[in-house]
Structure formats: C-alpha cells, structure tokens
Amino acid sequence: MDPILTWLIVGLVAGVLASMVVGDGYGIIGDIVVGIVGAFIGGYVFREAGWHAPLAGLAGVIAVAFIGAVLLLLLLRLFKRARL
C-alpha cells in the first residue's frame, strides 16, 4: 500500500475515534491532521515510557495514534478553556 495513503487512513481512523471519545470534532481534514499528529505524540509517549504497541501491524499503529490523538484533543480542550 502507498505510504501516503496509509498515513491518511491511520490519521482518519485515529482522529475520528479520538473525536468520538473526547467530543471535539474538526471535520474530516481536521480529524486526519489530529490523527497524524497524534501518531507522532503517541509514538513519542510510548517510546519514552518504554512501552510497545498493544497490537501488531496496522492495528497497533492505529492504537498508538489514537492514544496520541486523544492526548492532543485533551490538550487542545485545556488550552481552549484557559483562553475563555
């Protein structure tokens, strides 16, 4: 599969799932961006904590990206409230 398509799919799935859990949706493009940025955040957190992905393959990548996306959305919500 094309790597760019994989990034888009992982970003979309992780972003939409995180938006459903946290409750802040940013539309399809926003959710893809949240999911991709979440993948970097999740990868960093997992690496620094010495953890491994809970699943193998693409499912593991999506799980790590989802966790990172949830963290990102919670941080965005925190900063949004602080500004109000």
**Which tens digit of pLDDT belongs to each residue from 40-52?**
999 999 999 999 9
Q: Is the pLDDT of residue 32 over 80?
A: yes
Q: Is the dihedral of CA 64, 65, 70, 71 positive or negative?
A: positive
79 vs 34, higher pLDDT: 34
pTM: 0.91
Please state the domain extents for the chain: 3-79
Task: Tell me if 64 sits within 8 A of 46, measured CB to CB.
Answer: yes
- Listed in sequence order, the residues at least 6 apart from 54 whose beta carbon sits closer than 8 Å to its beta carbon are 60, 63
| C-alpha separations of 30 from 10, 17, 46, 50, 83 in Å | 13, 13, 23, 29, 21
